[in-house]
Structure 1
Amino acid sequence: MQKEQSSIPWRELFAGVDKTMAVASITMVLAFVLFTVLQPDLANVIYTGAKQYIENELGWYYILTVNVVLLVSLMIAFSPYGKLRLGRDDESPEFSNFTWFAMLFSAAVGTGLLFWSIAEPLSHLQGNPFIAMDGVAPNTLESAQTALRITIFHWGLHGWAVYILVGAILAYFAYRRGLPMTIRSAFYPLLGDRIYGPIGHAIDLLAIFATLFGTATTLGLGVSQMNAGLNSLFGLEISATNQVLLVLGVTVAATVSAVSGLKKGIRMLSEWNIHLSMVLFAFFILAGPTVFLLTIFTTGVGDYLGNLLPMGFWTSPDPESQWQGWWTIFYWGWWLSWGPYVGMFIARISRGRTIREVLFGGMFAATLGAMVWIVIFGGTALHLQLFGGVDLATVANENVTKVLFQTIEALNVPWATSFMIGMATLMIVTWFVTSADSGTLVICTILSQGNPNPPKTYRVIWGLGLGATSAVLLLAGGLQALQTAAIAAALPFSIALLFMCYCMFKALASEQVGQPVAVQQSEAS
């Protein structure tokens, strides 16, 4: 009797999830966290070596992969299959266009765009391979235009194509073929029922770890910037200890949001993010160089589109140069490592939309949103640097997390400065929480074999697991360790993504446009 009672908690612990997947994933995360905490120096050496190897030997592969993904996305969107509805043929979208875009954009960009929209253009202003090739001097208006083009490129169509294509593929197999909402389902045309065995487990474990490290990267960047905001407001010391404490605090908030579910916590926070962003946009436009921003936005869109192909395929000929590894390869690794997480989240919120709506709406609307963001924030910082007598570039070089707040102060609106810094810090918190709770929900959905409402126990476990991973990466090497995690996690998933593209084409080839979806589901099963 006692033996039976003692086994009940274990049965409850694994209720609603795949036991093998749960044990394997939790064990591997604990092993990673313990190793990094107990051997931080060795961990830092390993992470640095992995990053350098990928940058030096596999950079070409990352560049080729994201170009293939963009091409596949456009091919499917423009094909007759683009009009297929993700769900029943008469089904309507679950969320309004605004809510859908708000959740998509909030989950996808996280705190990253807040972090880099100012810091990255300022860095490129001081030097990059493209101004050298064009014969443009650094720290000039011409180099500022190039700096914005590069930043928009890193946040543009190539990156969004990764997220949106993964989302469209997963939504297709879940809502039209009746398969579980997990990464393994995309391999059904290739593996058949073997997706339910060890091979399928391995695929989903790979997706879990890509999600874990990709999300942890953004969380680490977010708390670094949050620490800088609190330093500007209250003088809180910028330190690893305070950043770990901030990770703990916001992780708790994110876990509560994840437990509350998609239609409550995540939806509400996503809409808040967009509304707060609009207020900050208005402040920058009104207090900043309005005409300059409108001018460079118009020029920037054309400059980006005109250079899309050359920049998309460019690889550095200089083996000693670290620029492409630090920037482009890091970004492509980051987008790829976030692919399972954001893609599954997009699939979860896209039922009832057509494939074309998801691909076009996601790629082009999100790219436009990123362009506006970068031009408003980055353009203001560049104008202050070039014409305002404010050396923001030095601030970015010394501490990249402080440059957003220094830019707000440099706009010189005394009555609004503290309020806007406080609001920007609040935005970091809400974007942070949105990323963490969405990532938690996705991991738990995978573990529960596609259940859109996974057990709350696992939402708590993985919410805390994401926070712990982010904290140990910060302690192991700060930004360098975070970047390494994103780039390394992307490698195995990038291979899986290429197979997913093949499987999608194979599935679409057997699709009869106009045939009732129920027939196709029965055939797939």
Structure 2
Amino acid sequence: MRSDNGLLKGLDPTVTIASKILVIGFVIFCAVMAEQAGVVFQEISTSVLNNFKWFYLALVTGVLGFLLYLMVSRFGHIRLGKDDEKPEFSYIAWVSMLFSGGMGIGLIFWSVAEPMYHYAANPFSADLTAESATTAMRLTFFHWGLHPWATFIIVALSLAYFAYRKGLPLTLRSILYPFIGNRIYGPIGHTVDILTVGITAFGVSQSLGLGVIQMNSGLNHVFGLPIDITIQLGMIALIMLLAVASALSGVGRGIRLLSEWNMVLSVVIVVVILAIGPTRYILNTLLQSTGDYANNLISMSLWSDTTADSGWQNYWTAFYWPWWMTWAPFVGMFIARISRGRTIREMIGGALIVPTLVTCVWMSVFGGSALYQEMQARTAYDNAVAADTSVADTPFTGGPILQATQADTTSALFAMFEGMDPGGLGSVLSILAILLLATYFITSADSGTLVLCILDSGGNTEPPQGIRVLWGVVIACIAGALLYAGGLKTIQTASIIAGLPIAFFILLMTISLYRTLRREPIAAAMLPVHARPSDVHLDFDSAVSESA
């Protein structure tokens, strides 16, 4: 697969060249014909969401159930590597990298904005009420909790199992081995990896583009720096320069150290908000919302808005699930890269349960603080109406945070900080949040670049330095070009369409993983003799050839 000489030494020529042509060609198309492409992609994505919503809901919930089963089953003690292999990274470093490479950026971006949108409107409660505030937190927990992490982990677990346990390349093509055997090294495998490269490149570029917009908004909020495309392009160049430098230093240094720094800074911000914010309200929100989420998990997972068919779910749950799926190849491969030596039980417990609990804390602190300010604004309005009924002629449309969110989603977080500003600490928190955004962007771009390089090098976890620099430059150029031409929305819509084939691929990999796990001699040995699969004595290649 890999070339032994020339400019492509150490790389898979087919995947490397074809993926660059695909990515650059698609970006040029989206940048030059952003409006026309946006219309077409919007129509297709709407049709996909309308007709396959049930499939997305059932698949993601089914994957979550499957992972929980594996965690507590006899397969849980299977190690992702040799039986005596130890994890490469400490538990703290591993969890830190999970967040930095996973959804650290999204948690900052949506921790205030999403609760505000649900508080203003949701199909389960009256708008702008105490009940809608409770519902807002439940829905936010649902969209950022177990289900998105399940889509990441099924990819990570499958990749890590086939790569570290069975000796196959750390690429998506390996998941097809139980079905097509060595043909994964041919056109089918190339196609899978090329499409994975394209989806990953678009996802990282879009995240980078949207992220610098929020950073620019924060700098405008704190320092009055103008919101300007030139400033945003400069931010992209600087972030990618730092990301490439981090990538060149390797996972064990650059990504690990930055990820640990991200976690420390995140804890600092959370502690400060707890100290100066509505502490009692936040802690009560955490406790109540966690219980509310757990109590309604099954009903929310399978709710499809059948009778009303209001369309709300297409903007939220049915939009999120394929969105997370487009991130699953990238995040899943990165999680697999850092999880060698852990058992299946450790990976699922550590990468599913722990991040979900931390997410609940994060969303409660930020979303709870914002909702508290909104409820205070609502109370002030109700008191004003009680004192003067003519005030009711002007309906309550939300407090300052909700209004800021509806005007510009990127400003929601900073509006919340501004509203809890005792002695200027709000501005300090805004600065810390901007710094945290920057470091999360660097680690996300870093991990995304690493994944792209691994794919280009046929699964080599330490790809050549040159390709790391090249992908860093390409990602920065893509993000800058789309930002300049207004094509980010087009890429986002196209990503939702890409979620459909990825969903079928996730279903296929789940079946592939389970079929192969059943033939694991260690797992089979825990069953009574009469219940063991008949072919557990066979090696992997023989078992595959018989099942193909």
CA distance in 2, matches of 1:353, 1:421: 37
- 2:22–2:198 contact (8 Å) kept in structure 1: no
How far apart are residue 336 of structure 1 and its match?
A: 0.5
- 5+ residue gaps, structure 1, are 1-8, 132-136
CA distance in 1, matches of 2:292, 2:25: 47
Say if 2:49 is the partner of 1:55.
Answer: yes
- 2:145–2:359 contact (8 Å) kept in structure 1: yes
Say if 2:193 is the partner of 1:199.
Answer: no
Look up the match of 2:11: 17
Look up the match of 2:511: 502
CA offset digits 1:373-408 (Å, max 9, x no partner) = 100000000001111565210100000101111111
Q: Which amino acid aligns with 2:436?
A: M
Q: Which amino acid aligns with 1:264?
A: R
SS of the aligned residue for 2:521 comes to coil
How far apart are residue 446 of structure 1 and its match?
A: 1.1
Look up the match of 1:232: 221
SS of the aligned residue for 2:335 comes to helix
- 2:200–2:448 contact (8 Å) kept in structure 1: yes
Look up the match of 2:436: 427
CA distance in 2, matches of 1:458, 1:406: 41
CA distance in 1, matches of 2:406, 2:487: 15
SS of the aligned residue for 2:226 comes to coil
241-250 or 156-165, which moves further after superposition?
241-250
Look up the match of 2:137: 148
- Where do residues 113-132 of structure 1 align in structure 2 (5 Å cutoff)? 113-131=107-125
How far apart are residue 524 of structure 1 and its match?
A: 7.7
How far apart are residue 442 of structure 1 and its match?
A: 0.6
In structure 2, relative to structure 1, the CA distance for the partners of 1:303 and 1:393 (3 Å cut) is: same
How far apart are residue 314 of structure 1 and its match?
A: 1.3
CA distance in 1, matches of 2:488, 2:411: 14
In structure 2, relative to structure 1, the CA distance for the partners of 1:515 and 1:127 (3 Å cut) is: closer
CA offset digits 1:214-266 (Å, max 9, x no partner) = 32332233112111111112222224454333223312222222222111111
Q: Which amino acid aligns with 1:39?
A: M
In structure 2, relative to structure 1, the CA distance for the partners of 1:189 and 1:238 (3 Å cut) is: same
Say if 2:209 is the partner of 1:220.
Answer: yes
In structure 2, relative to structure 1, the CA distance for the partners of 1:466 and 1:59 (3 Å cut) is: farther
- 1:118–1:403 contact (8 Å) kept in structure 2: yes
In structure 2, relative to structure 1, the CA distance for the partners of 1:89 and 1:522 (3 Å cut) is: farther
- 5+ residue gaps, structure 2, are 381-398, 526-535
CA distance in 2, matches of 1:266, 1:294: 32
SS of the aligned residue for 2:127 comes to coil
* Higher alpha-carbon Rg: 2
Which of 405, 409, 415 aligns to 2:418? It is 409
Look up the match of 1:108: 102
In structure 2, relative to structure 1, the CA distance for the partners of 1:179 and 1:260 (3 Å cut) is: same
Look up the match of 1:208: 197
Q: Which amino acid aligns with 1:429?
A: A
CA offset digits 1:193-224 (Å, max 9, x no partner) = 11111111111122222222232332233112
CA offset digits 1:167-203 (Å, max 9, x no partner) = 1111111111111111111111111111111111111
How far apart are residue 13 of structure 1 and its match?
A: 2.2
CA distance in 1, matches of 2:57, 2:524: 38
In structure 2, relative to structure 1, the CA distance for the partners of 1:68 and 1:83 (3 Å cut) is: same
Say if 2:283 is the partner of 1:289.
Answer: no
How far apart are residue 414 of structure 1 and its match?
A: 2.5
CA distance in 2, matches of 1:458, 1:110: 26
CA distance in 2, matches of 1:153, 1:13: 47
Look up the match of 1:79: 73
- 1:206–1:493 contact (8 Å) kept in structure 2: no
- Where do residues 18-417 of structure 1 align in structure 2 (5 Å cutoff)? 18-131=12-125, 137-317=126-306, 321-387=310-376, 390-417=399-426
399-408 or 484-493, which moves further after superposition?
484-493
Identical amino acids, percent of aligned pairs: 44
CA distance in 1, matches of 2:134, 2:19: 45
CA distance in 1, matches of 2:311, 2:348: 33
Matched residue pairs, number?
512
* Two-structure CA RMSD over aligned residues (Å): 2.4
Q: Which amino acid aligns with 2:407?
A: E
- 1:220–1:482 contact (8 Å) kept in structure 2: no
Q: Which amino acid aligns with 2:360?
A: M
> TM-score scaled to structure 1, two decimals?
0.92
CA distance in 2, matches of 1:496, 1:305: 29
Q: Which amino acid aligns with 1:72?
A: F
Look up the match of 1:438: 447
- 1:250–1:429 contact (8 Å) kept in structure 2: yes
- 1:41–1:476 contact (8 Å) kept in structure 2: no
- 1:48–1:480 contact (8 Å) kept in structure 2: no
275-284 or 482-491, which moves further after superposition?
482-491
